[in-house]
Structure 1
């Protein structure tokens, strides 16, 4: 054995008797999607253990077809279970699992507070793994001067229990029935076997500054069709109906609008059938990383280093303007970060991803 591997091997051996594991990851959609890569590493490291997942009910659907987890522990801490009632409910649920090992992948002040209550109110306390070596966590990586990117922090947590993280992309279970459903949807539009691009032009209503703009997405769809022979499929959720419809109206024959016809999990099989994905920095972009296709993720008010979807064939784009990565909800500068990001820049990014020869 390589001497550098010895400490990790010893740590893994120390946790060899683990039978029951809980992973805590509440939000948001993109962060939950990225965390599934680390959950896959955990599953491989403990193939015989029961692994449960504590998530918010809003994201339970992401795991509806995932057989890696024994139980979904769902407590709506941000909704109907807010406050002390929810805290008591959460403690009852997690204590009943009799876990040996618990990973706090959420790792914020609220989760630390709940873990502390768990530790202080129990005779039998599992091994808590967190981001920082402080109460109530027993195991955590050494503190760094600069906080690691979200998923990198989770990988460092696994390393502390001797697990090497090797999964490059999100892993989300998709049923054969859902795959067939998407094939039927494409066939109904005479797109079976067609060369496709997938466009995600929207965002939640509250994050509208993340939108690149319907006009630019429509122009991009025209370029993808004329230069690459790709028909663009537009996808989106309830907050994005108007934006998606506008892209389709402006691009006509270059696009087909599936907004409102798909659920979150449908994006992954659709992504697998596309040759390229172009998306704003939203939760669906992180879900689509599970399809492992070339992706351009467009960023304006958010930091591309922090929000980049994980997978090897993803490139983030951001205009070089002074106010970039501002994280504001209202823009005082006429949305210049998106105005300065051109269709030519996206096409050049596709060349770097070798989508364009």
Structure 2
């Protein structure tokens, strides 16, 4: 069997989609699995041993371009796929498998994709977690409709490239003489997911004073907030806070984060990467909910406020106050981290 999967466009969703790929390989161990995804997600696919081939989707998020989709479909027709699984819910994401002439095309109803998909699923209420919705597509429709549950839900598990890890440490002038606390203060989705940088700075100060060091991860868009966190620290502590935002490739970020003693992150792609690396993790939720996209790992603490307007799932606070994040104090996150780790974080250097 040869399977084509149209993958998600967001980093966190792509990490969670590994659960589908693991399931497909367990159910069809001799199948060849190809995944089409945006270029920025291919680094993740390369760390998933279940994926035999990553295909770059040249069209951007929201880019329709029907003629280009037709061309891509006809090009992929030469692969002779037996089955296509479309993870995104958009109408346009189902066009390429149709144009490729793939006979079996599976996916959720989404934007009324009747005819585009011929193995259409609509019982989302039975699968409240996003990862459940992904994995259910690996099973026959009748089984999922009748049983209302998934027999097995494997968690994502990204591979680490140890030589690349060592090279990244050298290139960036990093060392692991102190235990590493990784902070991920960004969120591509929008400000309603971002815990304030002053709170992150309080956590960073407390942990550095306990003998740890802090690495701040993120994209180039997160450099400003990373610098704000570092500059909020007393001068004597700043040498133990390294800004990696905008300085690493996704490959390097994966390998370096694997060295973390713990990770503190907003609900973001990096949070799901930390979970897939099985790093002890404190996940901070603002406008979104762990009832839909929880970090999939054993050693996880989830923190959020319980104000009545959350979760609203908005990019920006519709009420303009952002209380769901501003009123979540640093002390709660520090406590969650200490409870998660117990006595594990023992300083390896004098304070």
Scaled to the shorter chain, the TM-score interval is 0.7 to 0.9
- Shift of the alpha carbon at 1:278? 0.2
Separation in structure 2 between the aligned mates of residue 75 and residue 166 of structure 1, nearest angstrom: 27
Separation in structure 2 between the aligned mates of residue 268 and residue 260 of structure 1, nearest angstrom: 14
SS at match of 1:306: coil
Structure 1 match to 2:349: none
Q: 1:280 to 1:145 in 2, by over 3 A?
A: closer
- Shift of the alpha carbon at 1:166? 4.7
- Shift of the alpha carbon at 1:267? 2.3
Confirm or deny: 8 A CA contact 1:25 1:32 kept in the other structure. yes
Which structure features the higher share of helix residues?
Answer: 1
Aligned partner of 1:195 among 167, 176, 179: 179
- Shift of the alpha carbon at 1:95? 1.9
Deviations 1:302-340 (A, max 9, x none): 223223222222232211112222233443332211111
The answer as to 2:323 corresponding to 1:336 is yes
SS at match of 2:138: helix
TM-score (norm. length: structure 1): 0.81
Deviates further, 298-307 or 37-46? 37-46
Aligned partner of 1:128 among 90, 98, 105: 105
Structure 2 match to 1:14: none
Structure 1: any 5+ residue segments left out of the alignment? 1-17
- Shift of the alpha carbon at 1:263? 1.6
The answer as to 2:194 corresponding to 1:211 is yes
Deviates further, 126-135 or 288-297? 126-135
Structure 2: any 5+ residue segments left out of the alignment? 144-149, 345-351
Q: 1:333 to 1:26 in 2, by over 3 A?
A: closer
Structure 2 match to 1:63: 45
Separation in structure 1 between the aligned mates of residue 49 and residue 138 of structure 2, nearest angstrom: 21
Separation in structure 2 between the aligned mates of residue 289 and residue 319 of structure 1, nearest angstrom: 22
Confirm or deny: 8 A CA contact 1:296 1:315 kept in the other structure. yes
Q: Give runs of aligned pairs for residues 280-299 of structure 1, distance below 5 A.
A: 280-299=266-285
Confirm or deny: 8 A CA contact 1:281 1:298 kept in the other structure. yes
Confirm or deny: 8 A CA contact 1:296 1:316 kept in the other structure. yes
Separation in structure 2 between the aligned mates of residue 354 and residue 230 of structure 1, nearest angstrom: 13
Q: 1:89 to 1:164 in 2, by over 3 A?
A: farther
- Shift of the alpha carbon at 1:271? 2.2
Separation in structure 2 between the aligned mates of residue 71 and residue 292 of structure 1, nearest angstrom: 25
Confirm or deny: 8 A CA contact 1:158 1:164 kept in the other structure. no
Alignment: residue pair count: 329
Confirm or deny: 8 A CA contact 2:184 2:218 kept in the other structure. yes
Q: Give runs of aligned pairs for residues 178-257 of structure 1, distance below 5 A.
A: 178-185=164-171, 188-189=173-174, 191-204=175-188, 207-227=190-210, 229-252=211-234, 253=237, 254-257=240-243
Confirm or deny: 8 A CA contact 2:132 2:153 kept in the other structure. no
- Shift of the alpha carbon at 1:344? 1.5
Structure 2 match to 1:4: none
Separation in structure 2 between the aligned mates of residue 126 and residue 171 of structure 1, nearest angstrom: 31
CA RMSD of aligned residues (A): 2.9
Separation in structure 1 between the aligned mates of residue 50 and residue 305 of structure 2, nearest angstrom: 40
Q: Give runs of aligned pairs for residues 1-357 of structure 1, distance below 5 A.
A: 18=1, 20-64=2-46, 68-78=50-60, 82-112=64-94, 114-115=96-97, 117-118=98-99, 122=101, 125-131=102-108, 135-139=115-119, 143-145=123-125, 148-160=128-140, 165-168=152-155, 170-185=156-171, 188-189=173-174, 191-204=175-188, 207-227=190-210, 229-252=211-234, 253=237, 254-331=240-317, 332-355=319-342
Separation in structure 2 between the aligned mates of residue 140 and residue 354 of structure 1, nearest angstrom: 44
SS at match of 1:245: helix
TM-score (norm. length: structure 2): 0.82
Q: 1:177 to 1:79 in 2, by over 3 A?
A: same
SS at match of 1:301: coil
Separation in structure 2 between the aligned mates of residue 144 and residue 237 of structure 1, nearest angstrom: 33
